[in-house]
Structure 1
Amino acid sequence: MKKILIFLIFGLLMASSIKAQQSEYMVFDFIKVENDQIFDYIEFKDLMEKVYRQALNDKKIKGWDFWSLQSGADQTAFQYIMITYYDDPVKMMNGMDESTLMDYTKIAYPHLSDAQVANMFANALAIKDTPMRLYMKEIVSTDDNFQMKPGVLASFDLMKAYEGKFDQYENAEMEVFRPIHQNRIEQGMMGHWSFLRTALPLGSEAKSTHLTMNMFKDYMQFFNAQAYEDLNQTAEQQKAVNEGLNSRDQKWVYLATLENVVR
Protein backbone atom coordinates (compact mmCIF):
# COMPACT_ATOMS: atom_id res chain seq x y z
CA MET A 1 0.00 0.00 0.00
CA LYS A 2 2.87 2.34 0.89
CA LYS A 3 4.54 1.66 -2.47
CA ILE A 4 1.29 2.40 -4.32
CA LEU A 5 0.94 5.69 -2.42
CA ILE A 6 4.50 6.66 -3.33
CA PHE A 7 3.86 5.89 -7.01
CA LEU A 8 0.66 7.94 -6.94
CA ILE A 9 2.46 10.94 -5.42
CA PHE A 10 5.28 10.58 -7.93
CA GLY A 11 2.75 10.41 -10.75
CA LEU A 12 1.01 13.57 -9.58
CA LEU A 13 4.33 15.40 -9.32
CA MET A 14 5.30 14.30 -12.82
CA ALA A 15 1.92 15.39 -14.21
CA SER A 16 2.31 18.77 -12.49
CA SER A 17 5.84 19.11 -13.90
CA ILE A 18 4.67 18.25 -17.43
CA LYS A 19 1.83 20.74 -17.18
CA ALA A 20 4.25 23.48 -16.04
CA GLN A 21 6.58 22.65 -18.92
CA GLN A 22 3.67 23.06 -21.34
CA SER A 23 3.01 26.65 -20.27
CA GLU A 24 3.32 29.06 -23.16
CA TYR A 25 4.98 32.45 -22.96
CA MET A 26 4.57 35.13 -25.59
CA VAL A 27 6.12 38.45 -26.55
CA PHE A 28 3.76 40.84 -28.34
CA ASP A 29 5.48 43.53 -30.42
CA PHE A 30 3.14 46.27 -31.68
CA ILE A 31 4.86 47.66 -34.78
CA LYS A 32 4.49 50.99 -36.52
CA VAL A 33 5.82 51.62 -40.05
CA GLU A 34 5.58 54.87 -41.95
CA ASN A 35 3.11 54.65 -44.85
CA ASP A 36 5.71 55.32 -47.53
CA GLN A 37 7.87 52.45 -46.22
CA ILE A 38 5.26 49.74 -45.72
CA PHE A 39 6.17 47.81 -48.88
CA ASP A 40 9.84 47.72 -47.82
CA TYR A 41 8.89 46.38 -44.41
CA ILE A 42 6.49 43.77 -45.84
CA GLU A 43 9.36 42.44 -47.95
CA PHE A 44 11.57 42.31 -44.84
CA LYS A 45 9.05 40.46 -42.64
CA ASP A 46 8.45 37.90 -45.42
CA LEU A 47 12.19 37.23 -45.38
CA MET A 48 12.06 36.94 -41.58
CA GLU A 49 9.59 34.05 -41.72
CA LYS A 50 12.38 31.80 -42.94
CA VAL A 51 14.70 33.18 -40.24
CA TYR A 52 12.24 32.42 -37.43
CA ARG A 53 11.77 28.93 -38.86
CA GLN A 54 15.48 28.36 -38.32
CA ALA A 55 15.04 29.52 -34.71
CA LEU A 56 12.12 27.08 -34.32
CA ASN A 57 14.20 24.21 -35.71
CA ASP A 58 16.89 25.11 -33.16
CA LYS A 59 14.23 25.07 -30.36
CA LYS A 60 15.00 28.68 -29.57
CA ILE A 61 11.29 29.53 -29.95
CA LYS A 62 7.97 27.62 -30.13
CA GLY A 63 6.50 29.72 -32.92
CA TRP A 64 6.11 33.11 -34.56
CA ASP A 65 3.13 35.04 -35.96
CA PHE A 66 2.86 38.27 -37.92
CA TRP A 67 -0.55 39.99 -37.91
CA SER A 68 -1.86 42.96 -39.89
CA LEU A 69 -4.31 45.16 -37.97
CA GLN A 70 -7.76 45.67 -39.49
CA SER A 71 -9.11 47.85 -36.69
CA GLY A 72 -8.18 49.08 -33.24
CA ALA A 73 -8.10 51.98 -30.81
CA ASP A 74 -5.64 54.02 -32.85
CA GLN A 75 -4.24 52.54 -36.05
CA THR A 76 -1.86 55.47 -36.43
CA ALA A 77 0.02 54.11 -33.39
CA PHE A 78 0.85 50.76 -35.06
CA GLN A 79 -0.29 48.63 -37.99
CA TYR A 80 1.16 45.22 -37.13
CA ILE A 81 1.41 42.79 -34.22
CA MET A 82 4.27 40.31 -34.08
CA ILE A 83 4.02 37.44 -31.58
CA THR A 84 6.96 35.22 -30.63
CA TYR A 85 6.15 32.07 -28.63
CA TYR A 86 8.40 30.48 -26.01
CA ASP A 87 8.16 27.45 -23.71
CA ASP A 88 10.20 29.04 -20.94
CA PRO A 89 10.02 32.44 -19.19
CA VAL A 90 13.81 32.85 -19.25
CA LYS A 91 13.88 32.29 -23.02
CA MET A 92 11.07 34.83 -23.32
CA MET A 93 12.95 37.48 -21.36
CA ASN A 94 16.20 36.85 -23.24
CA GLY A 95 14.25 37.03 -26.47
CA MET A 96 15.57 37.13 -30.01
CA ASP A 97 18.05 40.00 -30.05
CA GLU A 98 19.46 41.47 -33.25
CA SER A 99 22.67 39.45 -33.03
CA THR A 100 20.75 36.17 -32.72
CA LEU A 101 18.45 37.08 -35.59
CA MET A 102 21.42 37.95 -37.78
CA ASP A 103 23.02 34.58 -37.02
CA TYR A 104 19.85 32.75 -38.05
CA THR A 105 19.57 34.95 -41.14
CA LYS A 106 23.02 33.80 -42.25
CA ILE A 107 21.85 30.19 -41.88
CA ALA A 108 18.53 30.81 -43.68
CA TYR A 109 20.20 32.80 -46.49
CA PRO A 110 23.76 31.46 -46.88
CA HIS A 111 24.19 33.36 -50.15
CA LEU A 112 24.07 36.70 -48.28
CA SER A 113 27.33 38.18 -47.05
CA ASP A 114 27.78 39.48 -43.50
CA ALA A 115 27.65 43.02 -44.85
CA GLN A 116 24.37 42.36 -46.71
CA VAL A 117 22.75 40.88 -43.60
CA ALA A 118 23.89 43.80 -41.45
CA ASN A 119 22.61 46.28 -44.03
CA MET A 120 19.24 44.51 -44.24
CA PHE A 121 18.73 44.80 -40.47
CA ALA A 122 19.92 48.39 -40.38
CA ASN A 123 17.34 49.33 -43.02
CA ALA A 124 14.56 47.46 -41.20
CA LEU A 125 15.34 49.17 -37.89
CA ALA A 126 15.29 52.54 -39.63
CA ILE A 127 11.78 52.11 -41.03
CA LYS A 128 9.95 50.59 -38.04
CA ASP A 129 9.16 51.51 -34.46
CA THR A 130 7.86 49.35 -31.61
CA PRO A 131 5.78 51.68 -29.42
CA MET A 132 4.50 48.85 -27.20
CA ARG A 133 5.84 45.45 -26.15
CA LEU A 134 4.05 43.03 -23.82
CA TYR A 135 5.50 39.94 -22.12
CA MET A 136 2.71 37.47 -21.35
CA LYS A 137 1.98 34.02 -19.94
CA GLU A 138 -0.94 31.92 -21.10
CA ILE A 139 -3.18 31.02 -18.15
CA VAL A 140 -5.82 28.88 -19.85
CA SER A 141 -7.13 28.10 -23.33
CA THR A 142 -9.87 26.13 -25.06
CA ASP A 143 -9.54 22.53 -26.18
CA ASP A 144 -9.47 22.59 -29.98
CA ASN A 145 -7.42 21.66 -33.04
CA PHE A 146 -7.47 25.09 -34.66
CA GLN A 147 -5.06 25.39 -37.58
CA MET A 148 -2.98 28.56 -37.75
CA LYS A 149 -2.56 29.62 -41.36
CA PRO A 150 -2.45 32.92 -43.31
CA GLY A 151 -5.89 34.52 -43.56
CA VAL A 152 -7.01 33.52 -40.07
CA LEU A 153 -8.67 36.35 -38.07
CA ALA A 154 -8.13 37.21 -34.43
CA SER A 155 -9.31 39.82 -31.98
CA PHE A 156 -6.80 40.80 -29.32
CA ASP A 157 -8.70 42.17 -26.33
CA LEU A 158 -6.54 44.10 -23.85
CA MET A 159 -8.04 44.07 -20.35
CA LYS A 160 -7.18 45.79 -17.09
CA ALA A 161 -8.45 44.14 -13.90
CA TYR A 162 -9.89 46.63 -11.45
CA GLU A 163 -7.90 47.22 -8.29
CA GLY A 164 -8.81 44.61 -5.70
CA LYS A 165 -10.53 42.39 -8.27
CA PHE A 166 -7.51 40.74 -9.92
CA ASP A 167 -8.29 37.21 -8.67
CA GLN A 168 -12.01 37.67 -9.22
CA TYR A 169 -11.43 38.63 -12.84
CA GLU A 170 -9.06 35.71 -13.51
CA ASN A 171 -11.50 33.26 -11.95
CA ALA A 172 -14.30 34.68 -14.12
CA GLU A 173 -12.27 34.17 -17.31
CA MET A 174 -11.35 30.60 -16.34
CA GLU A 175 -14.61 29.43 -14.81
CA VAL A 176 -17.28 31.53 -16.58
CA PHE A 177 -16.00 32.76 -19.95
CA ARG A 178 -13.86 29.78 -20.97
CA PRO A 179 -16.86 27.38 -21.01
CA ILE A 180 -18.79 29.92 -23.11
CA HIS A 181 -15.99 30.08 -25.68
CA GLN A 182 -15.58 26.30 -25.59
CA ASN A 183 -19.28 25.95 -26.39
CA ARG A 184 -18.94 28.33 -29.33
CA ILE A 185 -16.02 26.33 -30.67
CA GLU A 186 -17.98 23.09 -30.42
CA GLN A 187 -20.80 24.77 -32.39
CA GLY A 188 -18.36 25.84 -35.12
CA MET A 189 -18.71 29.54 -34.32
CA MET A 190 -15.13 30.12 -33.19
CA GLY A 191 -11.70 28.58 -33.69
CA HIS A 192 -9.66 29.14 -30.54
CA TRP A 193 -9.59 31.22 -27.34
CA SER A 194 -6.83 31.82 -24.83
CA PHE A 195 -6.41 33.97 -21.73
CA LEU A 196 -3.05 35.56 -20.91
CA ARG A 197 -1.64 37.44 -17.94
CA THR A 198 0.84 40.29 -18.41
CA ALA A 199 4.30 39.57 -16.99
CA LEU A 200 5.72 42.96 -18.04
CA PRO A 201 5.13 45.88 -17.88
CA LEU A 202 3.79 45.86 -14.32
CA GLY A 203 2.41 48.48 -11.94
CA SER A 204 -0.63 50.68 -11.63
CA GLU A 205 0.38 52.71 -14.70
CA ALA A 206 0.50 49.64 -16.97
CA LYS A 207 -2.12 49.93 -19.69
CA SER A 208 -3.29 46.35 -19.31
CA THR A 209 -3.04 43.37 -16.96
CA HIS A 210 -4.46 40.65 -19.22
CA LEU A 211 -5.25 39.82 -22.82
CA THR A 212 -7.64 37.43 -24.52
CA MET A 213 -7.04 36.05 -28.01
CA ASN A 214 -10.15 35.08 -29.96
CA MET A 215 -9.47 33.31 -33.25
CA PHE A 216 -11.72 32.66 -36.25
CA LYS A 217 -11.09 30.80 -39.50
CA ASP A 218 -12.66 33.56 -41.64
CA TYR A 219 -14.93 36.63 -41.61
CA MET A 220 -18.09 34.47 -41.89
CA GLN A 221 -17.26 32.71 -38.63
CA PHE A 222 -16.27 36.01 -37.02
CA PHE A 223 -19.55 37.78 -37.83
CA ASN A 224 -21.62 34.73 -36.85
CA ALA A 225 -19.89 34.77 -33.47
CA GLN A 226 -20.69 38.47 -33.00
CA ALA A 227 -24.37 37.84 -33.70
CA TYR A 228 -24.54 34.82 -31.39
CA GLU A 229 -26.57 35.16 -28.22
CA ASP A 230 -26.93 32.36 -25.71
CA LEU A 231 -30.62 32.45 -24.85
CA ASN A 232 -30.31 29.33 -22.68
CA GLN A 233 -28.28 31.01 -19.95
CA THR A 234 -29.82 30.75 -16.51
CA ALA A 235 -30.22 33.79 -14.27
CA GLU A 236 -27.35 32.48 -12.15
CA GLN A 237 -25.07 32.13 -15.20
CA GLN A 238 -25.98 35.62 -16.41
CA LYS A 239 -25.17 37.00 -12.96
CA ALA A 240 -21.74 35.31 -13.06
CA VAL A 241 -21.10 36.80 -16.52
CA ASN A 242 -22.04 40.30 -15.35
CA GLU A 243 -19.84 40.02 -12.25
CA GLY A 244 -16.95 38.96 -14.47
CA LEU A 245 -17.51 41.88 -16.84
CA ASN A 246 -17.63 44.29 -13.90
CA SER A 247 -14.27 43.10 -12.56
CA ARG A 248 -12.26 44.48 -15.50
CA ASP A 249 -12.03 47.32 -17.98
CA GLN A 250 -11.84 46.33 -21.64
CA LYS A 251 -9.16 48.79 -22.75
CA TRP A 252 -8.88 48.05 -26.48
CA VAL A 253 -9.95 45.47 -29.03
CA TYR A 254 -7.76 44.93 -32.09
CA LEU A 255 -8.98 42.89 -35.06
CA ALA A 256 -6.13 41.47 -37.12
CA THR A 257 -5.42 39.10 -40.03
CA LEU A 258 -2.62 36.54 -39.89
CA GLU A 259 -0.08 37.15 -42.66
CA ASN A 260 2.86 34.93 -41.70
CA VAL A 261 3.10 31.96 -39.34
CA VAL A 262 5.85 29.62 -38.18
CA ARG A 263 4.92 26.45 -36.27
Structure 2
Amino acid sequence: MKKLLLFLVCGMLWVSSLKAQQTQYMVFEFVKVENDQLFDYIEFKDLMEKVYRQALNDKRIKGWDFWSLQSGGDHADFQYIMVTYYNDPVQMMNGLDEQSMIEYTKIAYPHLNSIQVGKLFQESLSMRDMPMRLYMKEISETNDSFQMKPGVLASFDLMKAREGNFEAYEEAETQTFKPIHQRFVDQGLMGHWSLLRTALPLGSEAKSTHLTMNVYKDYMQFFNAQSYEDMNQTEAQREAVNEGLNSRDQKWVYLATLENVVR
Protein backbone atom coordinates (compact mmCIF):
# COMPACT_ATOMS: atom_id res chain seq x y z
CA MET A 1 0.00 0.00 0.00
CA LYS A 2 2.84 2.37 0.90
CA LYS A 3 4.59 1.55 -2.39
CA LEU A 4 1.38 2.28 -4.31
CA LEU A 5 0.90 5.59 -2.50
CA LEU A 6 4.52 6.55 -3.17
CA PHE A 7 4.07 5.66 -6.84
CA LEU A 8 0.96 7.82 -7.12
CA VAL A 9 2.64 10.79 -5.41
CA CYS A 10 5.69 10.50 -7.66
CA GLY A 11 3.41 10.27 -10.69
CA MET A 12 1.54 13.43 -9.70
CA LEU A 13 4.81 15.28 -9.12
CA TRP A 14 6.11 14.14 -12.52
CA VAL A 15 2.95 15.32 -14.28
CA SER A 16 3.11 18.65 -12.42
CA SER A 17 6.77 19.07 -13.37
CA LEU A 18 6.00 18.22 -17.01
CA LYS A 19 3.25 20.85 -17.14
CA ALA A 20 5.59 23.46 -15.65
CA GLN A 21 8.19 22.66 -18.29
CA GLN A 22 5.61 23.02 -21.05
CA THR A 23 4.41 26.44 -19.87
CA GLN A 24 5.47 29.17 -22.26
CA TYR A 25 6.67 32.60 -21.21
CA MET A 26 6.64 35.28 -23.88
CA VAL A 27 7.84 38.86 -24.27
CA PHE A 28 5.88 41.03 -26.71
CA GLU A 29 7.77 44.05 -28.02
CA PHE A 30 5.71 46.55 -30.01
CA VAL A 31 8.09 48.26 -32.41
CA LYS A 32 7.82 51.71 -33.95
CA VAL A 33 10.02 52.66 -36.92
CA GLU A 34 10.15 56.04 -38.64
CA ASN A 35 8.85 55.99 -42.21
CA ASP A 36 12.20 56.95 -43.72
CA GLN A 37 13.85 53.94 -42.04
CA LEU A 38 11.34 51.24 -42.94
CA PHE A 39 13.43 49.87 -45.81
CA ASP A 40 16.53 49.60 -43.58
CA TYR A 41 14.47 47.91 -40.89
CA ILE A 42 13.38 45.19 -43.31
CA GLU A 43 17.06 44.25 -43.57
CA PHE A 44 17.40 44.51 -39.79
CA LYS A 45 14.71 41.91 -39.12
CA ASP A 46 16.60 39.40 -41.24
CA LEU A 47 19.70 40.14 -39.16
CA MET A 48 17.68 39.60 -35.99
CA GLU A 49 16.45 36.23 -37.25
CA LYS A 50 20.05 35.05 -37.56
CA VAL A 51 20.95 36.42 -34.13
CA TYR A 52 17.96 34.85 -32.37
CA ARG A 53 18.68 31.54 -34.11
CA GLN A 54 22.08 31.57 -32.44
CA ALA A 55 20.36 32.28 -29.10
CA LEU A 56 18.04 29.32 -29.74
CA ASN A 57 21.03 27.07 -30.47
CA ASP A 58 22.52 28.25 -27.17
CA LYS A 59 19.21 27.42 -25.39
CA ARG A 60 18.80 31.03 -24.24
CA ILE A 61 15.36 31.23 -25.88
CA LYS A 62 12.66 28.82 -27.02
CA GLY A 63 11.70 30.73 -30.17
CA TRP A 64 11.22 34.11 -31.81
CA ASP A 65 8.60 35.65 -34.13
CA PHE A 66 8.61 38.84 -36.18
CA TRP A 67 5.11 40.09 -37.08
CA SER A 68 4.18 42.90 -39.45
CA LEU A 69 1.06 44.78 -38.32
CA GLN A 70 -1.85 45.11 -40.73
CA SER A 71 -4.01 47.10 -38.32
CA GLY A 72 -3.97 48.35 -34.75
CA GLY A 73 -5.76 50.29 -32.07
CA ASP A 74 -4.82 53.53 -30.35
CA HIS A 75 -1.13 52.90 -31.11
CA ALA A 76 -1.57 52.63 -34.87
CA ASP A 77 1.99 53.88 -35.35
CA PHE A 78 3.36 50.48 -34.32
CA GLN A 79 4.49 48.66 -37.44
CA TYR A 80 5.85 45.44 -35.97
CA ILE A 81 5.61 43.05 -33.05
CA MET A 82 8.51 40.89 -31.92
CA VAL A 83 7.63 37.89 -29.74
CA THR A 84 10.37 36.00 -27.90
CA TYR A 85 9.55 32.65 -26.27
CA TYR A 86 11.21 31.40 -23.07
CA ASN A 87 11.07 28.18 -21.04
CA ASP A 88 10.74 29.81 -17.62
CA PRO A 89 10.07 33.20 -16.01
CA VAL A 90 13.70 33.70 -14.93
CA GLN A 91 14.92 33.35 -18.52
CA MET A 92 12.16 35.71 -19.62
CA MET A 93 13.06 38.43 -17.12
CA ASN A 94 16.80 38.13 -17.80
CA GLY A 95 16.23 38.25 -21.55
CA LEU A 96 19.17 38.77 -23.88
CA ASP A 97 21.61 41.47 -22.78
CA GLU A 98 23.36 43.72 -25.29
CA GLN A 99 26.70 41.92 -24.97
CA SER A 100 25.08 38.55 -25.72
CA MET A 101 23.34 40.03 -28.75
CA ILE A 102 26.66 41.36 -30.04
CA GLU A 103 28.34 37.98 -29.53
CA TYR A 104 25.54 36.21 -31.40
CA THR A 105 25.86 38.78 -34.19
CA LYS A 106 29.55 37.92 -34.48
CA ILE A 107 28.67 34.23 -34.82
CA ALA A 108 25.94 34.94 -37.37
CA TYR A 109 28.24 37.23 -39.40
CA PRO A 110 31.74 35.72 -39.09
CA HIS A 111 33.02 37.82 -42.02
CA LEU A 112 32.56 41.04 -40.00
CA ASN A 113 35.14 42.25 -37.51
CA SER A 114 34.30 43.49 -33.99
CA ILE A 115 34.12 47.16 -35.04
CA GLN A 116 31.77 46.36 -37.95
CA VAL A 117 29.55 44.23 -35.73
CA GLY A 118 29.36 46.98 -33.09
CA LYS A 119 28.45 49.57 -35.71
CA LEU A 120 25.81 47.31 -37.26
CA PHE A 121 24.26 46.63 -33.86
CA GLN A 122 24.18 50.30 -32.80
CA GLU A 123 22.65 51.34 -36.14
CA SER A 124 19.91 48.76 -35.68
CA LEU A 125 19.09 50.10 -32.21
CA SER A 126 18.93 53.71 -33.42
CA MET A 127 16.31 53.04 -36.10
CA ARG A 128 13.63 51.63 -33.79
CA ASP A 129 11.63 52.57 -30.72
CA MET A 130 9.87 50.06 -28.45
CA PRO A 131 7.37 52.12 -26.44
CA MET A 132 5.51 49.05 -25.16
CA ARG A 133 6.84 45.73 -23.85
CA LEU A 134 4.65 43.05 -22.25
CA TYR A 135 5.85 40.05 -20.24
CA MET A 136 3.29 37.25 -20.52
CA LYS A 137 2.61 33.73 -19.22
CA GLU A 138 0.53 31.34 -21.33
CA ILE A 139 -2.22 29.86 -19.16
CA SER A 140 -4.43 28.07 -21.71
CA GLU A 141 -4.33 26.95 -25.35
CA THR A 142 -6.15 24.79 -27.87
CA ASN A 143 -5.11 21.22 -28.59
CA ASP A 144 -3.57 21.38 -32.06
CA SER A 145 -0.40 20.73 -34.04
CA PHE A 146 -0.27 24.08 -35.82
CA GLN A 147 3.13 25.05 -37.20
CA MET A 148 4.22 28.69 -37.26
CA LYS A 149 5.67 29.73 -40.62
CA PRO A 150 5.94 32.95 -42.67
CA GLY A 151 2.59 34.08 -44.07
CA VAL A 152 0.56 32.97 -41.04
CA LEU A 153 -2.04 35.52 -39.88
CA ALA A 154 -2.88 36.34 -36.25
CA SER A 155 -4.94 38.74 -34.21
CA PHE A 156 -3.46 39.85 -30.89
CA ASP A 157 -6.35 40.91 -28.66
CA LEU A 158 -5.28 42.97 -25.65
CA MET A 159 -7.80 42.59 -22.83
CA LYS A 160 -8.25 44.19 -19.44
CA ALA A 161 -10.32 42.26 -16.90
CA ARG A 162 -12.86 44.55 -15.28
CA GLU A 163 -12.21 45.45 -11.65
CA GLY A 164 -13.24 42.55 -9.41
CA ASN A 165 -13.73 40.22 -12.40
CA PHE A 166 -10.18 38.91 -12.87
CA GLU A 167 -10.98 35.29 -11.97
CA ALA A 168 -14.38 35.45 -13.68
CA TYR A 169 -12.73 36.62 -16.89
CA GLU A 170 -10.14 33.83 -16.89
CA GLU A 171 -12.87 31.29 -16.16
CA ALA A 172 -14.92 32.64 -19.06
CA GLU A 173 -11.96 32.32 -21.43
CA THR A 174 -11.07 28.77 -20.37
CA GLN A 175 -14.57 27.39 -19.79
CA THR A 176 -16.62 29.23 -22.44
CA PHE A 177 -14.42 30.66 -25.18
CA LYS A 178 -11.71 27.98 -25.33
CA PRO A 179 -14.20 25.23 -26.34
CA ILE A 180 -15.51 27.51 -29.09
CA HIS A 181 -11.98 28.08 -30.40
CA GLN A 182 -11.27 24.36 -30.13
CA ARG A 183 -14.28 23.65 -32.35
CA PHE A 184 -12.94 26.21 -34.82
CA VAL A 185 -9.60 24.40 -34.84
CA ASP A 186 -11.28 21.01 -35.26
CA GLN A 187 -13.44 22.35 -38.13
CA GLY A 188 -10.50 23.94 -39.96
CA LEU A 189 -11.59 27.52 -39.22
CA MET A 190 -8.58 28.38 -37.03
CA GLY A 191 -5.03 27.18 -36.57
CA HIS A 192 -4.36 27.93 -32.91
CA TRP A 193 -5.65 29.91 -29.91
CA SER A 194 -4.00 30.75 -26.61
CA LEU A 195 -4.69 32.89 -23.55
CA LEU A 196 -1.85 34.75 -21.85
CA ARG A 197 -1.77 36.53 -18.51
CA THR A 198 0.33 39.66 -18.05
CA ALA A 199 3.29 39.21 -15.69
CA LEU A 200 4.52 42.79 -16.16
CA PRO A 201 3.49 45.59 -16.08
CA LEU A 202 1.13 45.12 -13.13
CA GLY A 203 -1.24 47.34 -11.15
CA SER A 204 -4.44 49.23 -11.76
CA GLU A 205 -2.74 51.58 -14.22
CA ALA A 206 -1.62 48.73 -16.49
CA LYS A 207 -3.31 49.04 -19.85
CA SER A 208 -4.01 45.30 -20.13
CA THR A 209 -4.16 42.19 -17.95
CA HIS A 210 -4.43 39.49 -20.64
CA LEU A 211 -3.82 38.81 -24.30
CA THR A 212 -5.36 36.25 -26.63
CA MET A 213 -3.65 35.01 -29.78
CA ASN A 214 -5.95 33.87 -32.58
CA VAL A 215 -3.83 32.27 -35.31
CA TYR A 216 -4.92 31.43 -38.87
CA LYS A 217 -3.00 29.78 -41.70
CA ASP A 218 -4.09 32.49 -44.20
CA TYR A 219 -6.67 35.19 -44.97
CA MET A 220 -9.11 32.63 -46.40
CA GLN A 221 -9.28 30.79 -43.08
CA PHE A 222 -9.50 34.08 -41.21
CA PHE A 223 -12.49 35.40 -43.18
CA ASN A 224 -14.24 32.01 -43.09
CA ALA A 225 -13.98 32.10 -39.30
CA GLN A 226 -15.39 35.64 -39.15
CA SER A 227 -18.43 34.69 -41.21
CA TYR A 228 -19.14 31.45 -39.34
CA GLU A 229 -22.27 31.38 -37.17
CA ASP A 230 -22.97 28.52 -34.77
CA MET A 231 -26.67 27.81 -35.26
CA ASN A 232 -26.58 25.01 -32.67
CA GLN A 233 -25.56 27.27 -29.78
CA THR A 234 -27.99 26.95 -26.87
CA GLU A 235 -29.50 29.84 -24.95
CA ALA A 236 -27.37 28.91 -21.93
CA GLN A 237 -24.22 29.02 -24.07
CA ARG A 238 -25.15 32.41 -25.52
CA GLU A 239 -25.72 33.72 -22.00
CA ALA A 240 -22.32 32.40 -20.89
CA VAL A 241 -20.67 34.11 -23.88
CA ASN A 242 -22.33 37.45 -23.02
CA GLU A 243 -21.26 37.15 -19.38
CA GLY A 244 -17.71 36.47 -20.53
CA LEU A 245 -17.73 39.50 -22.82
CA ASN A 246 -18.97 41.69 -19.97
CA SER A 247 -16.16 40.54 -17.66
CA ARG A 248 -13.46 42.30 -19.67
CA ASP A 249 -12.72 45.33 -21.78
CA GLN A 250 -11.22 44.59 -25.19
CA LYS A 251 -8.60 47.32 -25.35
CA TRP A 252 -7.02 46.82 -28.79
CA VAL A 253 -6.96 44.24 -31.56
CA TYR A 254 -3.84 43.98 -33.70
CA LEU A 255 -3.99 42.02 -36.95
CA ALA A 256 -0.55 40.89 -38.08
CA THR A 257 1.28 38.68 -40.59
CA LEU A 258 4.21 36.51 -39.58
CA GLU A 259 7.31 37.43 -41.58
CA ASN A 260 10.20 35.72 -39.76
CA VAL A 261 10.18 32.79 -37.37
CA VAL A 262 12.81 30.94 -35.34
CA ARG A 263 12.01 27.53 -33.83
**TM-score interval, smaller chain:** over 0.9
Residue in 2 that maps onto 1:16 = 16
For the aligned residue pairs, the C-alpha RMSD in angstroms reads: 0.8
Residue in 2 that maps onto 1:71 = 71
Whether 1:123 aligns to 2:113 is: no
Please give the alpha-carbon distance, in whole angstroms, between the structure 2 residues aligned to 1:56 and 1:171. Answer: 34
Task: List aligned pairs for 1:180-219, cutoff 5 A.
Answer: 180-219=180-219
Residue in 2 that maps onto 1:52 = 52
Task: List aligned pairs for 1:167-246, cutoff 5 A.
Answer: 167-246=167-246
Please give the alpha-carbon distance, in whole angstroms, between the structure 1 residues aligned to 2:97 and 2:78. Answer: 21
The question of whether the paired residues in 1 share the 8 Å contact of 2:74 and 2:252 is answered with no
* Runs of 4+ residues over 3 Å off in structure 1: none
Residue in 2 that maps onto 1:42 = 42
Q: Give how far 1:230 is off.
A: 1.0
Residue in 1 that maps onto 2:84 = 84
Cα deviations by residue, 1:190-228 (Å, 9 ceiling, x for unpaired): 000000000000111111000000000000000000111
Q: Give how far 1:109 is off.
A: 1.2
Q: What amino acid sits opposite 1:4 in the alignment?
A: L
Cα deviations by residue, 1:130-170 (Å, 9 ceiling, x for unpaired): 01000000001001111111000000000000000000000
Residue in 2 that maps onto 1:164 = 164
The question of whether the paired residues in 1 share the 8 Å contact of 2:143 and 2:182 is answered with yes
Residue in 2 that maps onto 1:32 = 32
Q: SS where residue 164 of structure 1 aligns?
A: coil
Please give the alpha-carbon distance, in whole angstroms, between the structure 2 residues aligned to 1:85 and 1:178. Answer: 22
Q: Give how far 1:97 is off.
A: 1.9
The question of whether the paired residues in 2 share the 8 Å contact of 1:27 and 1:134 is answered with yes
Q: What amino acid sits opposite 1:244 in the alignment?
A: G
Task: List aligned pairs for 1:73-152, cutoff 5 A.
Answer: 73-74=73-74, 76-152=76-152
Residue in 1 that maps onto 2:261 = 261
Q: What amino acid sits opposite 1:189 in the alignment?
A: L
Q: SS where residue 189 of structure 2 aligns?
A: coil
Residue in 1 that maps onto 2:154 = 154
Q: SS where residue 92 of structure 1 aligns?
A: helix
Moved more, 231-240 or 178-187: 231-240
Q: Give how far 1:77 is off.
A: 2.7
Q: Which runs of 5+ in 1 are unaligned?
A: none
Q: Give how far 1:75 is off.
A: 5.5
The percent of aligned pairs where both chains have the same amino acid is 75
Q: Give how far 1:121 is off.
A: 1.3
Cα deviations by residue, 1:13-33 (Å, 9 ceiling, x for unpaired): 111011011110000000000
Cα deviations by residue, 1:68-113 (Å, 9 ceiling, x for unpaired): 0000114643100000000010000001122111111111111111
Q: Give how far 1:8 is off.
A: 0.7
The question of whether the paired residues in 2 share the 8 Å contact of 1:54 and 1:104 is answered with yes
The question of whether the paired residues in 2 share the 8 Å contact of 1:177 and 1:241 is answered with yes
Q: SS where residue 213 of structure 2 aligns?
A: strand
The question of whether the paired residues in 2 share the 8 Å contact of 1:46 and 1:260 is answered with yes
The question of whether the paired residues in 2 share the 8 Å contact of 1:77 and 1:131 is answered with no
Q: What amino acid sits opposite 2:255 in the alignment?
A: L
Query: How many residues are matched?
Result: 263
Please give the alpha-carbon distance, in whole angstroms, between the structure 2 residues aligned to 1:221 and 1:98. Answer: 39
The question of whether the paired residues in 2 share the 8 Å contact of 1:26 and 1:92 is answered with yes
The question of whether the paired residues in 2 share the 8 Å contact of 1:78 and 1:131 is answered with no
